[in-house]
Chains A and B, each alone.
Chain A
Amino acid sequence: MKTITLHNTLPNVFSQRTDIVSDIWQRDVELERGKLYLIEASSGTGKSSLCSFLIGYRHDYQGSICFDGKDVRTLTQGDWVRIRQCSLSTLFQELRLFQELTAWENVQIKNSLTHFKEDAEVSRWFEALGIADKKDAKVGRMSFGQQQRVALMRALVQPFDFLLADEPISHLDDNNGRIMGELMTEEARKQGASVVITSIGKHIDLPYDKVFKL
């Protein structure tokens, strides 16, 4: 997937509003593979909606969203499964980790689907992110900041053209935020992929190609 384009897109819930000032809603926006984007949002501007639309979780919007020029409303279930496995990886704001499984298993449940990364590399990430000692701990027992790092690793054990990171560092200190930013951009660089980061206020300092205000 080379481009994601939005044409005049607007969440249905905003359809009655006339005061929308946004770089994304009701505009023509194009996100290109290989570039680094930041979407800055305030509360209630539809950031979660945007992410849901992009991963095909929700379709309650006007206008259109296209992957490589193809309207996502025309995609089949099989297309979405392939896209989620191979083209578009997501770090969910609500993480969507499995509380009953350990940190390691939460990454493996994705990696054993894609067979994308060696165990050794994942172990190195655990080290780098400072949670190597939590590998075998149940995710339910970990802090939100620790869980965010697990969710990032799970998002990285798949091939992708776009990595959508929804508020990835909201609960992390600057140092861990920086490490996470480096890890994301490094993986994206290796694959020639794009990273789209959203944030409310706090964001990772990275050489963004473009910053949108939602």
Chain B
Amino acid sequence: MKQANSLIWRLLRQHISIGQLVGFFLANLIGMLIVLLSLQFYNDLVPAFSQEDGFLKNTYIIVSKRVSTVSMFDNNSSVFSNDEIDDIRQQSFTNSIGEFTASKYRIYASLSLSGAARMGTDMFFESVPDEFVDIDLDKWKFEEGDEEVPIILPRSYLALYNFGFAQSASLPKLTEGFISMVQMDLRLRGESERIELKGRIVGFSTRLNTILAPASFIRWSNQRLAPSSSTLPTRLIVEVKNPTDDNIARYMYDHDYELEDDKLDAGRTTYFLRIVAGIIIAVGLLISALSFYILMLSIFLLVQKNANKLENLLLIGYSPARVARPYQLLTISLNAAVLILAFALLMWLRSYYMTMLQQMFPDMEAGSLMPAIIVGLSLFVVVSLFNIFAVRGKVQNIWDRKD
């Protein structure tokens, strides 16, 4: 068998054009590399824009009413009426809408660090519907009778403490991990009742400038501690279809609403990045397709030139599959070599740009390699399958004496 293979290979390698194969190899390599590199770069860069907020998706925007000097003392001017909420809900850019609900009673929170300094402050809670909070729902729940309330804090609070307060008061700086382990004592004071609970910080958010508690907790506590106060929201969270949609800004401007605008930028940037990456990937795919065309032409030419030998092999009892195999193996090895080299180059280039990115975004996490690996392998499989069938088809033509 081995001998037959080597003899057949010696026959069929005649007329192989090294120049054409090198041309294919380079073209395919460039195409593959462009596809993989743009995909990987996109994957690596996106976390830099969105990594800071795991709790809110980029398609969420937060809407509030503009506070003017005139309206400063009118409490009702900053709340959204039901009509206004319905109007936003009916806009074409809206996917879904949720209300911020604030706590209507007084809260005093205190924190003791290993029994030493005891810090306390008056504070408040807000909630948004649970489906807007992108967190494990096991961690994010409160039922009546629970001792502990999960809380999400703005990351800026921690920065404020660490770089402002702790620095000047010679207190230790706190890490997010450490804070998450500490329990807070909460004292809730309503119209007629007091409740004592524990609070646990389950995460930090840059997108949300508020102290977030589960919706079920706010509902329960408001009902119990402040049954008489109104519950119209002052801020809304809106899931939009496309954060770069101009209509959003126009609508907000027309209605004198305020967007927490910078939060939209990350969404816009990733959207823009996605478009650019998409275009580059398309160019890469086009180059890959052209290189595939070169390879097919080259192989067809080869089959044509060796048609006599192929025919003789078929007539002395070789099967078409067997005769096609050397050329199929040739194309598969070329494709595999391209894939491996493209990955090697990808890793090399990636190490360069990652150093740069890490200087720009120090606490950035690298994106996953999986999408690039999956796309690379799929390209390899698809192109190889095409090659296999094309070569087999050509040999079949020789069997059928079509050429």
Q: List B contacts of A154 (CB < 8 A).
A: 316
Do B312 and A96 touch across chains, with their CB atoms under 8 A apart? yes
- Is there an interface contact between A108 and B3, defined as CB atoms closer than 8 Å? yes
Among A10-18, A37-45, A110-118, A186-194, the one that faces the other chain is A110-118
Query: Contacts A77-B399, A112-B1; is A101 near B317 (CB within 8 Å)?
Result: no
Q: How many Å lie between the Cα of A84 and that of B1 in the bound state?
A: 18
Are A90 and B7 touching (Cβ within 8 A)? no
Cβ contacts under 8 Å, A110 to chain B: 316-317
A residues in contact with B399, CB < 8 Å:
77
B11 at the interface (CB under 8 A from A): yes
Confirm or deny: A98 has a beta carbon within 8 angstroms of a beta carbon on chain B.
yes
Q: Provide the residues of chain A in CB contact with B1, threshold 8 Å.
A: 112
Contact for B4 among A55, A78, A90, A109, CB less than 8 A? A109
| Tally of contact residues, B, Cβ under 8 A | 19
> What residues of chain A lie closer than 8 Å to B315, measured between beta carbons?
55, 57, 84, 90, 92, 96
Query: Which residue of A has the minimal Cβ distance to B396?
Result: A77
Residues from 60 to 87 in A contacting B, C-beta threshold 8 Å: 77-78, 81, 84-85
Contacts of A84 in B (CB 8 A): 315-317
Q: Could you tell me the dominant secondary structure of chain B's interface residues? A: helix
In the complex, what's the smallest C-beta–C-beta distance from A54 to chain B, in angstroms?
Answer: 12
A92 to B314, CA, bound (A): 13
A142 to B11, CA, bound (A): 18
Which residue of chain A is the closest to B313 with respect to CB atoms?
A: A109
Interface status of B320 (Cβ within 8 A of chain A): yes
Pair A109/B8 contact, Cβ less than 8 Å: yes
> What mask results when residues 117 to 139 of chain A are scored 1 for a CB within 8 Å of chain B, else 0?
00000000000000000000000
Contact yes or no, B8 A158, CB < 8 A? no
Return A108 CB to nearest CB of chain B, in Å. 6
Closest-CB distance, B313 to chain A (whole angstroms): 8
Q: A108 with B7: in contact, given A100-B14, A113-B317 (CB under 8 Å)?
A: yes
Tell whether A105 is near chain B: CB-to-CB under 8 Å.
yes
Q: Cα distance A121–B95 when bound, in Å?
A: 83
Q: How far is the CB of A48 from chain B (nearest CB, A)?
A: 13
Which of chain B's residues have a CB closer than 8 A to the CB of A105? Answer: 7
**Whole-angstrom distance between the alpha carbons of A205 and B401 in the complex?**
36
Is B250 an interface residue, CB under 8 A from the partner?
Answer: no
Query: Residues of A with Cβ closer than 8 Å to B?
Result: 55, 57-58, 77-78, 81, 84-85, 90, 92, 96-98, 100-101, 105, 108-110, 112-114, 154, 158
A/B interface sample: 7 pairs, CB < 8 A: A77-B320, A100-B14, A101-B11, A105-B7, A109-B8, A109-B316, A113-B4
Other than the given A84-B316, A100-B10, A113-B316, 4 more pairs (CB < 8 A) read A77-B399, A81-B320, A90-B316, A154-B316
